[in-house]
Amino acid sequence: MIHEELPAEHEDPLIRVLHIIIRASVRFLAVLMALVIIWSVADVVWVLYQRLRAEPVLLLNHNDLFDVFGAIMLVLISIEIFINIRLYLGSNVIPIQLVVATALMAIARKVIVLDLDETGPIYILGIAAAVLALGITYWLVAKKETLTYGERRSLLEDKDT
C-alpha cells in the first residue's frame, strides 16, 4: 500500500513526480537501514570478540559490558527506526507510539552508557526530564489506543455537550 499523503495520482504533474521521488527515497532509506543493521550486528560481534580475547581472556569488566550493551541497544534502535520507515511506507497512519518508544529506547541507551563521573547535574536533570516527558507521552498514547469503541464514543459525546 502506498502512503496516502503521497498519492501517485495528483492533478499537478510536478507534485506527482515529487511524490514518486519521495517514495523511492524512503524505500532507499529502508534498504540503507537494513544494511546499517547488518553492519551494526557485525560490529557488536566484533567488539564482543575483541573484548573477550583481551587479557584477562573470556572475562569482561564493567566498561566492556557498557560498550557491548551500548552497541546492542544501538542495533535495537536501528531496528526500531527501520520498522518506523516500513510502517511509513505501508500505511497512511504515522505510528506515534512506535516513534515515542524508539525515542525512549534511545534515551535509555544514553542512560545505560552514561558516565556519571563525567556528567554534570544539569545534564542528568535534562535526561530525567526527557525520560519523564517521553514516558508520560507513551503512557497517554498507549492508553488512548487501548480505549474501546464505546469508551471513545462516550468521550466524544461528552466533548460535544
First to last CA, the chain: 38
CA distances, 147 to each of 72, 93, 94, 137, 139 (Å): 34, 18, 19, 16, 12
pLDDT band at 161 (very low <50, low <70, confident <90, very high): low
**Residue 107 falls inside a structural domain:** yes
Question: Cβ(109)–Cβ(73) under 8 Å?
Answer: yes
**Residue 109 falls inside a structural domain:** yes
**Residue 1 falls inside a structural domain:** no
**Residue 95 falls inside a structural domain:** yes
Domain count of the fold of the chain: 1
Question: Cβ(48)–Cβ(68) under 8 Å?
Answer: yes
Question: Cβ(40)–Cβ(71) under 8 Å?
Answer: yes
**Residue 5 falls inside a structural domain:** no
Omega of the bond leading into 56 within 30 degrees of 0 (cis): yes
Give tens-digit pLDDT for 76-133: 888 888 888 887 777 656 678 888 988 998 898 888 878 888 888 999 999 999 999 9
**Residue 78 falls inside a structural domain:** yes
- Domain with 42, as residue range(s), is 13-160
**Residue 3 falls inside a structural domain:** no
**Residue 106 falls inside a structural domain:** yes
